[in-house]
Structure 1
């Protein structure tokens, strides 16, 4: 058993599958499945934008989330905000002043870990679009069960009986924490342990990115 297989077994990450250039009418797109959870993301831009929406210092980033039900909710706005803040840290927006970049996320299947799946799909779609980035990023989710055990990438069924849910996003260079969003109650030590385990697990996601980019580079 190789090192990647041993790490995958230890962290029990869901199997990942991805297709780039999924949508023909976008500048970049990706469809990603993490287990049974599936997200589709398209990127358009940099594009010309109306004067009142322009920034003279950087591009204007817009994130649109389309839920499976089609009706926008407060939760959808929350997802948009998290994804926009995360992507803004990675995109070199100063290279594209007075323009707009639009990221559209579509929910296809949610069987747990959906927001993390959306973030990872967005990163792959940005890579596919050719937008300049400071670094790529990877999101890992975990949950704390009633016994206090940390479960990486919990299923929808496991999430129904958890004390807390924690999500972390790391950059590819220093594995620094870019974004953290949590629900529930937990101790500081538990948070630190979850952070360390998710940071280690992010190595597998970055390795997956490299394999996907290498695969499509060979095709081109």
Structure 2
């Protein structure tokens, strides 16, 4: 189900050497209790000009539907489902693309948007600290730069992952949560499917997000986001 890649983008694309490297992502801001409020913008450094803000998108609150009876088989499957307690992520490892990076917590800034990871560290990933931790029930959001001012960064090769690829996250409680990739898709930032990417889920899910597609010299930003959709596959203690 991978989205169509831009022409000539068989290799991960970085910004041209003659222009500043983009360090922009699509960030969610989550408001609980009133549905899922998702705000996103392209945030760069002051040298790159003002961030390009996009309108907030609000997912309407659906009325609760009556619960349908659960079969004994479905009930047993739900009881046996692998769900981990809350625990802060410490390190991300994706052997297939040579990623081994520490985490930094990301918070909502004064503008109402999620802050980006520091732009001067090539080997660092961030997670939304007020959201789901990797392995908990729900959708955990992890983001990393595709490049920085000094060159390629931690998620340069993210778009090359395939369904079945494994993502390991070492957590503070000593467990390693292993996620299996379901799909890798590219979305235009102008038409980003907020609800699909950020919406809560009944099972432990993971989203890895970085920039992708063509680099727009005028906007000083990439035009797309690469999103990895994955689910919790197993867990082990070190």
Q: Same fold (TM over 0.5)?
A: no
TM-score (norm 1): 0.28
Higher relative contact order, structure no. (Cα contacts within 8 Å, ≥ 6 residues apart): 2
TM-score, scaled relative to structure 2: 0.26
Q: Which has the higher helix share?
A: 1
